[in-house]
Amino acid sequence: MTWDWNYAFEIMPDLLVGVWYTVVVTLASSAIALSLGLLLAILESVSTTFGRAFVRFWLEIFRGVPILVLLYMAYYVLPEYGLNFSGMVIGIGVTGLVYAAYSSEVYRGSLITIPPELRDACVALSLSPSVTWLSVLIPLMVKRSIPALLNYVVGMFRATVFLFAIGVPVLMGEAQTAADRSFRYLEPYTLAGCIFILLNLPFIYILSKAKADHV
């Protein structure tokens, strides 16, 4: 099969639509993952033994079950119980929950590395627990977690390819649709791969800068 430039230009608008959906899913799921992961790490830290076990149970579920299985379960099982959501909402929600579990471990690891003397200093200064968390612990947790969290943002960007399985017109979905419609696979998949590489370059640059700043 030879490369057809006319066909490549013909399908490019559809692929750009897929780029838009890919970026939106990545940003929305990242917002859920990074914020919910931080909340889960804090809850696990301040909860009782039962509370920590409960949080750990849900974290292991979302980390242990493949994301594609969770997408299918949410897309096909939830409507049986009257919960009808679009594929876009389900894709963002599932991706965000899965990576929130991973992000939580990063935040928790950062919290463990904070010297206990710092908490003692907060107590000595009569800081309330809320002020200690909001003004001291959480900023340190976030700062120390940035390089690893950026890796997970890249992971969410790559995980968008799974969403075409539930009908979300992400980049991979648009490439698959174009290929199935024309029975030409060289151009759609090659263009999709090149676009993924180009979109990934800013992440690589930001990640390298963040790692350099943390050395």
For residue 211, the model assigns a pLDDT of 62
What confidence category does residue 89 fall into, taking pLDDT thresholds of 50, 70 and 90? very high
Q: Are 160 and 25 in contact (CB under 8 A)?
A: yes
Q: Would you give the DSSP letter of residue 197?
A: H
Q: Is the pLDDT of residue 143 over 90?
A: no
| 3-state DSSP assignment of residue 60 | helix
Q: How far is CA 161 from CA 95, 108, 156, 173, 205, in A?
A: 11, 29, 9, 7, 22
Overall average pLDDT of the 98-113 stretch: 90
Q: What is the rounded distance in angstroms from the CA atom of residue 116 to the CA atom of residue 123?
A: 11
Domain segments of the chain: what residues? Answer: 5-213
Domain 5-213 has CATH 3.40.309.10: no
For residue 213, the model assigns a pLDDT of 63
Q: Is the pLDDT of residue 204 over 80?
A: no
What does the pLDDT look like over 51-79, one tens digit per residue? 788 888 888 888 888 999 999 999 999 99
For residue 156, the model assigns a pLDDT of 92
Residue positions counted in the chain: 215
Q: Quick one: three-class SS letters along 111-169?
A: HHHCCHHHHHHHHHCCCCHHHHHHHHHHHHHHHHHHHHHHHHHHHHHHHHHHHHHHCCC
Q: Model's pTM, two decimal places?
A: 0.86
For residue 60, the model assigns a pLDDT of 86
What does the pLDDT look like over 151-177, one tens digit per residue? 899 889 989 999 988 989 899 889 988
How many other C-beta atoms lie within 10 A of the C-beta of residue 134? Answer: 12
